[in-house]
Amino acid sequence: MLRRSFISFFLIVSLVIAPSGFANTVSGSNGVVTSRSQLASDVGVEILRQGGNAVDAAVATAFALAVTYPSAGNIGGGGFMVIRLDDGTVVTQDHREKAPGTAFPDMFLDDAGNVDRRKSLYSAQAAGVPGSVAGLLDALERYGSMDREQVIAPAIKLAEEGFPLSADMAQDFERVLNSMRDYPASMAVFSNNGQPWQAGELWVQKDLAETLKRISAEGRDGFYKGKTADLLIAEMQRLDGMISHEDLAGYNAEWREPIKGSYRGYDIWSMPPPSSGGALVVQMMNMLEAYDVKSMGWGSAEAIHLMVEAQRRAYADRAEHMGDPDFYPVPLDMLTDKNYARQRFLDFNPDQASRSADIGSGSWPMESMETTHFSVMDKNGISVALTTTLNLGYGNRIVVPGAGFLLNNEMDDFSAKPNEPNAYGLLGDEANKIEPGKRMLSSMTPTIVTRDGEPVLVTGSPGGSTIINTVFQVMLNVLDHEMGIEDAVASPRIHHQWQPDMIRIEPGALQDGAQQRLEAMGHIDLAPMGYGLGDANSILMQNGVMHATSDPRSDGGASAY
């Protein structure tokens, strides 16, 4: 009771003082959608009302997010999805961006051999070949029940007729406006004749509407060939970018075997590489399974110490072993094996912190905080966890003239130089070097948890390197601490990623006295921060009722019927 009272107290406080938004929690027996945009969530639920399934709703939501949440929702980026079908089968789809055919390992190094971050983030060369359109349409064709005209129609309407800008979006547009001033097409979309948009003004995107109409009418050829492709390639040529007509025409989404793990009788289904998220979540859960996390108490020094030490080892393995499996032999069997997790945790000391400098990558014989995640579930238990991104917010800030959509800057997610940190401070090596046609490593972690074959939890998050730990903690909150979905998502979080050797801490994430105890254990660098770890729009199934919540850290929304 004391633990529950404490959690309830700090949740009330955090919801009151968290600067970004509030949790919108809804329940339904027929279907639920939760995303970063209330408009997009409403689109998804309307598709369910019309008789569509969760895949139809997910595709409609994704296209709507490209209109209503342009900093991360997209048709010019890529992502991953995990789908549980009505017969219990789980499939995963990789529509991650790919390096253009002319890309090469040293393309972002200057004459002195140093990484040119402006080039890797804010140039046309920073753009990978987009995968979102191919992936969404492929999923719809395989597992949807509606045609693409039906599911894209709401996004077209939102772009063509516009919608009033929220204060949150208007402020965000103004924040990035200076970085777009070199690109007239970007300024035409994200400014009102050169002046900042104001909250409440009607925001119309005519060029984007026309692009969506071409996709609706022609399918993938409406994006990867024809007028849209010509417009994209013209901008590449004007700005010395690398994407070619051949790159676009040759893009394909990949259906991959899901990462599967187990934890205290639950089954965990998540993304395999080139996402590192699924393997790391399973690895960390394997490390914790031998410990009574519940009895330690949420936010206790003992629980935080245990979590950090698991995070430290898993992220070290990420740096060494993770990359595109089509180019590099990722040792997934090792990383997700319970015996390996036990071996990796043998040096865990419950009273003493490790030093990251002493934790190398494991061995056995042998992406931006501005991503976005949404979750969908329908009355038949079909569930979709989908995480999509342009990498940093608004990608490379370049809108394709005449086409109305932003390009990604995902090429920065490769290792531009061995052991040189990317924009999120993540390290990488040979496994994630730049190669033509290769998919860059990601931290995106769309995840579905089942028990006895039935769906329990659908979750995921944006947050760059913090994504994996956000999903990890939502799962622990539900499975060990027995929280409802609103509390599980709203609870303050911590983050450790091996290097730098630092624990980032949201307000209220530690019980009274826990910081002093952690410092006594040797956790020296504890870094308080605001409420910025993730945006975990999630769904929990309980007693036949679907409960969906948006994350109070952001201005999102859930919808149900």
DSSP per-residue string spanning 189-235: HHSBTTB---TT-EE--HHHHHHHHHHHHHTTHHHHSHHHHHHHHHH
| Angle, in degrees to the nearest 10, between helices 54-68 and 38-49 | 150
The confidence score (pLDDT) of residue 368 equals 55
The confidence score (pLDDT) of residue 23 equals 74
The confidence score (pLDDT) of residue 440 equals 94
Q: All domains of the chain, ordered by start, with CATH?
A: 1-40+73-127+254-400+410-561 (3.60.20.40)
The pair of three-digit structure tokens given for residue 230, joined into one six-digit string: 């010509």
The confidence score (pLDDT) of residue 419 equals 58
Active site residue 371: yes
The confidence score (pLDDT) of residue 319 equals 80
Selected catalytic residue, list 371, 372, 388, 470:
371
Q: How big, in percent rounded to 5, are the helix, strand and coil portions of the chain?
A: 40, 20, 40
Positions in the chain whose pLDDT score sits under 50: 1-20, 363-366, 424, 426-428
Strand 545-549, strand 78-84: pairing: unpaired
The confidence score (pLDDT) of residue 420 equals 61
First-residue to last-residue Cα distance in the chain: 33
The pair of three-digit structure tokens given for residue 24, joined into one six-digit string: 């919108």
| CA atoms in the 13 A half-sphere facing the CB of 118 | 2
The confidence score (pLDDT) of residue 8 equals 36
pTM score: 0.92
The confidence score (pLDDT) of residue 6 equals 31
The confidence score (pLDDT) of residue 278 equals 96
CA distance 483 to 461: 18
The confidence score (pLDDT) of residue 357 equals 81
